[in-house]
Each structure stands twice: as C-alpha cells, then as structure tokens.
Amino acid sequence: MDKKDIPSWILSLENDDLEFIRKFVLNSGSLKQLAKDYEVSYPTVRLRLDRLIQKIEINEDHNKEELISLVKKLAVEERISLDDAKLIIDKYKEEKGVN
C-alpha cells in the first residue's frame, strides 16, 4: 500500500493511538482485555476509545470548516470544555448562516 492510499484519518493519529487500535484489534475488540493490558480500569479504556472515535470523526468530516475543526479538536483534547465548544460552533454557524 502506498502512503498516498492511507486514509487521512489514520495519518492524523499519534503513534500511541495507532498502538491502541492495534491492541484493540488483536484483543478482538475486548475493552476488558485492553484494560488489563494497560493496567487501568475499564472506564479509563472506554474514555480513551471515545476520544479516539472523536479524533477519527473530526478527520472524516469532509465538509468541515477550519475553525469548527479546531474547536472540536480543542474540546477532544480537553483544552476547552464541550459546552464552550458547542457555544463557539453554534455562534460561528449562526454568523455564517450555516446549519
């Protein structure tokens, strides 16, 4: 597979995210087993998976606006609250006349 054939969402992930996905697949999607492998609680693994899903969704959004993507990324990284992110995105969409 050529590098140009690798989906952009994969290229946007960090190495530890890719390792998490690798372990997830090797453990047949068992979050319980991943929790044992990482020596953390099940809710911790679930939270990490949820954040990984958010990262992928952000990068798969082909119709995204640069500002909206940045705000979503900041929320995923917990640099701003989810409520603040929603407020900023809603205000931006209102001013741009976007739904």
pLDDT, one tens digit per residue, over 15-50 is: 999 999 999 999 999 999 999 999 999 999 999 999
Give me the percent of the chain exceeding a pLDDT of 70.
88
At 97, list the tokens: 């006349």
Q: What is the pTM of this model?
A: 0.61
Domains of the chain from N-terminus onward: 1-60 (1.10.10), 62-99 (no CATH)
DSSP 77: T
Query: What does the alpha-carbon distance between residue 6 and residue 97 come to, in Å, rounded to a whole number?
Result: 34
pLDDT at 1 over 80: no
Query: What does the alpha-carbon distance between residue 24 and residue 3 come to, in Å, rounded to a whole number?
Result: 23
